[in-house]
Every structure is written in structure tokens, then in C-alpha cells.
């Protein structure tokens, strides 16, 4: 044995000890997102590459640094069967392993949870989570048809269900219990439009005024499913996101930009609404939040900035309460007092949220994570929340069928 190799062996043994004893955190070292658009003029691999390219450059990595890839999307919009293989090839990530994960709109934070476990277990050092959706891949007629199959196709869909109607039933339940009004919900859209205008990756960037919600000829006020109007609903989009997750040793070797995963919570609830106990909040979100806070060792008042799953305005309002930012029934006070604006007590969706960014199913969670990572690094530009050090991501699949809550922090 040469002296050099002897040193390497000792060094490697030393590193191993450090990892087992102290270096056991998991961090996010790179984030990327494509622009979210109505119809991307290219293929899914090219769309996903936009986010991949940005994340790899952000992490200052090359393809040899990635040990495994998790690809996240909702398969009902994919024409390509098993897109993980296609993306891994296009990213130049063969022969590293790749696989596909799906939990509707929460797919890419489910991917993040799996990446954490792969890294934490020591199986891989660096794992890439690529979320994408090209919702324009299928025709709008096909999309309409899939809308009817959003939940329990055997026992609910034959009555003519669709996603806005499910969330509308929660809006109705919240209204009946707490007196929430359509005007309260419009305040959430107003905030979203204000920040959407600042986010160059957002699809809808036109600021709205309270007057826009009073004009009956404005299509934003068209009824969709009572009490929700068009203004309460997010729009389909094409988009991609990419998150690079690494163990502490690799993250520290890259320098000081790492944002650490402090808490992960994940829960489910019955698909068929007959399995739900109440209709004024999402039980799965409450449970996921409880788990994430416990793991992170923090409470709701410690969160400096949050991204919540505002697929509908009512969803953001319920998130305020399910995450403990407000007591049940008091979420409206937060938005009425502008406490969820950038300067408020708990800034929420100050990147415009799904309502302004658009909602490319498989990419959405990764986009939320990217926003929080940029916030914690102080790189969020005009959307920056001052001195943000702990951030939270609330990402929901279906109408609370799946819920992931992720808590991130800087050193």
C-alpha cells in the first residue's frame, strides 16, 4: 500500500464516521423552473430540460454528479408512456437509476420526500427531482373528459363531478360554518395577481383591482360551481420544475447556498367525499403539517414565508387554518388585514401562487419548493421577504386526497 492510498483509506473512514455521527442533514443544492405557459411550443423532454438546465447551473453541477432521478407528473396528461426513461436519456443521466412517482398535483413534493429518503439512507449522495406537465399535450376536449375522472370514477364521476366542484363543496362548508364570503375569497385572488405581476415565470401577470370583481361583464366573475367563480380557480399550464437534493457532505463541499430539509409531513384522506368527516378544511393537510412541525421542532409562528397549494382561493384560505397560521374560522382575518402579504405576519404565496403562475400538475410542488429556496437564500428579487430563515411548502393532491408539508431552513 502506498502512503497516498493509505491516506485515502483513512480519509474515507474518517468521512464515514462524520457522516454517521454528525453529517446527516439533507439539503437542497439546486433549483430550477421553466416559465409556466398556456401551451409550450416543444416536446416534454425540452420543457423538462429548461428546469433541469437551470437547476444544474444553480448547483454548479455536471451530469456525472447526479446519482439518481425521480420524475414526477400526472400520467393522464402524458402521451409518453413511462416518461422517466425519456427524461433521464435527454438529461444525459444514463446509466443512473430513474423512476416515476405520482400523487396528482402533489407529485413533485412526493418526489422530494423520496429523494430525502434515498439520500438519508445513504443509498445515493445526490438525487434529482424533475417535475413536469404539458397539459396542452392533449386536446381541450380530452382534458374536459379527464376532468370528470378526477376522483372516484365508480361512485362519484357518474354524477358529473369536476375538480372545481369538489373544492366548491369545501367552500360551501367553510361558508356555512364560518360565514366566509365570496368577497373574502376574491381578496386572495387580488393578492395573487399582485405578486403574479412580479414573477417573470408566472403565466398570468396582469394585476387586478377590486373593481374587476364588481364588473359582471368581466369573465373572471362567471360562476363555475357555486360559490366559486372563475376568479377563484387556477388555470392549466405547461411547465417544469427541478430540485437537486444532496447529503450534507456533498452539500457542504459545494459552498454555502444549501437550504436544509428540516421537516417532512405526508398524509392521505378518502378519495370519495363520503369518507370525510367535515367540509371546512383538509384533514390530510392538518396531519401532514403536524408531522412536519414535529420533525422540524418548530411551530407555525416560526415560519417566515410559506407557499400553499392555492389551486382555488378557498384552498389557500383553508391552508391558513390547516397549517395553524390562523385558528379555524379566523383565516379570513389574515387576508382581510393583509397579513399574508410580503410585509405581513406570515407572507403566503408571494410569487403569485398557482392562481397566477398556473398549475402544471407534476411541476407545481417543485415550483413551490424553488420559491422557498430562493426566499431563504435571499434571492427572490422583488418578492423577497426580509430575513426569511424558515419556509414552508404545502402541496395538495386532488381535493386533499394527498397532502405533503415540507419545512425548509437555512443554516
Partner 1 sequence: MAAKEIDNRFSKFGTVSFTAFTRVNDFIDHLQRGRVMGTRCRTCGARYFPPRADCCRSLDSDMEWVDLPGMGTLLTYSTLSYAPTGFGEDLPYTIAVVDFGSVRVFGRLDRTLPAESISIGMRLKLEVLKLPGGNVSYEFRVAS
Is 293 within 8 Å of 299 (Cβ atoms)?
Answer: yes
Q: Smallest distance from the beta carbon of 37 to partner 1, in angstroms?
A: 23
Q: In this structure, are residues 234 and 358 in contact, taking their beta carbons and an 8 Å threshold?
A: yes
Q: Which is nearer to partner 1, 72 or 267 (CB)?
A: 267
Using CB under 8 A as the binding rule, whether residue 340 contacts partner 1 is answered as: no
Count of residues in contact with partner 1, rule CB under 8 A: 39
Tell me which stretch binds partner 1 (CB under 8 A): 2-10, 71-79, 272-280, 304-312: 272-280
Between 166 and 293, name the residue whose CB sits nearer to partner 1: 166
Tell which residue, 73, 77, 76, 106, has the closest CA to residue 397.
106
- CB neighbourhood size of 258 (10 A): 24
Min dist CB 275 to partner 1, Å, is 8
Angle between helices 163-178 and 313-322 (to 10 degrees): 50
Q: Which of 161, 199, 356, 406 binds partner 1 (CB under 8 A)?
A: 161
Which of 69, 107, 172, 192 is close enough to bind partner 1 by CB under 8 A? 172
d(CA 158, CA 6): 70
User: Read out DSSP for 162-186?
Assistant: -HHHHHHHHHHHHHHHH---HHHHH
Q: Residue with C-alpha cell 407528473?
A: 73
Catalytic residue among 105, 234, 242, 311: 105
38 binds partner 1 (CB under 8 A): no
154 touching partner 1, by CB under 8 A:
yes
Residues within window 126-145 making contact with partner 1, judged by CB under 8 A = 141, 144-145
Query: Would you count residue 228 as binding partner 1 (CB under 8 A)?
Result: yes
105 flagged as catalytic: yes
Task: State the Cα–Cα distance between residues 241 and 239, nearest whole angstrom.
Answer: 7
313 binds partner 1 (CB under 8 A): no
CA gap 112, 28 in Å, rounded: 10
User: CB of 201: closest distance to partner 1 in angstroms?
Assistant: 28
Closest C-alpha among 328, 331, 330 to residue 348: 331
**Cα separation, 110 vs 129, whole angstroms:** 10
Any contact of residue 220 with partner 1 (CB under 8 A)? no
Query: Is 394 marked active-site?
Result: no
Residues that bind partner 1 (CB under 8 A): 141, 144-145, 147-149, 152-162, 164-165, 168-173, 176, 222-228, 272-276, 279
Positions marked active-site = 105, 359
Amino acid at each position: 500500500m502506498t502512503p497516498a492510498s493509505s491516506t485515502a483509506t483513512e480519509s474515507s473512514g474518517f468521512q464515514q464516521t462524520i457522516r454517521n455521527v454528525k453529517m446527516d442533514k439533507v439539503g437542497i443544492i439546486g433549483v430550477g423552473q421553466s416559465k409556466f405557459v398556456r401551451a409550450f411550443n416543444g416536446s416534454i423532454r425540452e420543457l423538462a430540460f429548461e428546469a433541469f438546465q437551470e437547476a444544474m447551473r444553480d448547483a454548479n453541477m455536471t451530469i456525472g454528479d447526479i446519482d439518481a432521478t425521480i420524475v414526477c407528473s400526472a400520467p393522464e396528461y402524458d402521451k409518453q408512456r413511462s416518461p422517466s426513461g425519456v427524461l433521464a436519456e435527454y438529461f444525459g443521466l444514463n446509466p443512473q437509476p430513474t423512476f416515476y412517482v405520482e400523487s396528482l398535483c402533489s407529485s413533485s413534493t412526493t418526489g422530494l420526500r423520496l429523494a430525502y429518503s434515498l439520500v438519508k439512507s445513504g443509498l445515493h449522495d445526490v438525487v434529482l427531482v424533475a417535475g413536469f406537465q404539458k397539459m396542452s399535450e392533449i386536446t381541450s376536449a380530452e382534458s374536459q373528459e379527464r376532468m370528470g375522472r378526477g376522483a372516484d370514477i365508480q361512485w362519484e364521476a357518474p354524477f358529473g363531478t369536476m375538480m372545481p366542484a369538489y373544492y366548491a363543496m369545501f367552500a360551501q362548508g367553510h361558508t356555512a360554518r364560518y360565514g366566509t364570503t365570496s368577497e373574502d375569497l376574491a381578496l386572495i385572488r387580488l393578492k395573487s395577481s399582485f405578486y403574479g405581476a412580479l414573477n417573470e415565470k408566472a403565466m398570468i401577470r396582469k394585476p387586478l383591482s377590486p373593481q374587476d370583481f364588481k364588473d359582471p361583464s368581466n369573465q373572471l366573475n362567471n360562476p363555475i360551481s357555486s360559490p366559486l367563480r372563475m376568479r377563484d380557480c387556477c388555470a392549466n399550464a405547461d411547465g417544469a420544475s427541478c430540485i437537486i437534493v444532496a447529503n450534507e457532505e456533498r452539500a457542504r463541499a459545494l459552498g454555502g447556498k444549501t437550504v436544509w430539509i428540516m421537516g417532512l409531513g405526508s398524509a392521505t384522506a378518502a378519495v370519495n367525499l363520503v369518507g370525510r368527516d367535515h367540509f371546512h378544511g383538509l384533514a390530510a393537510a392538518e396531519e401532514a403539517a403536524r408531522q412536519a412541525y414535529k420533525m422540524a421542532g418548530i411551530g407555525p409562528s416560526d415560519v417566515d414565508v410559506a407557499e400553499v397549494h392555492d389551486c382555488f382561493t378557498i384552498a389557500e384560505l383553508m391552508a391558513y387554518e390547516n397549517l395553524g397560521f390562523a385558528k379555524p374560522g379566523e383565516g379570513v382575518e389574515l387576508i382581510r388585514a393583509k397579513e399574508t402579504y410580503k410585509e405581513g405576519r406570515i407572507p403566503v404565496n408571494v410569487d403569485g401562487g398557482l392562481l397566477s403562475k398556473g398549475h402544471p400538475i407534476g411541476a407545481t410542488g417543485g415550483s413551490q419548493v424553488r420559491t422557498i429556496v430562493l426566499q431563504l437564500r435571499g434571492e427572490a428579487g422583488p418578492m423577497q421577504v426580509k430575513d426569511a430563515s424558515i419556509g414552508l411548502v404545502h402541496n395538495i393532491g386532488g381535493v386533499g386526497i394527498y397532502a405533503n408539508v415540507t419545512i425548509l431552513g437555512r443554516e
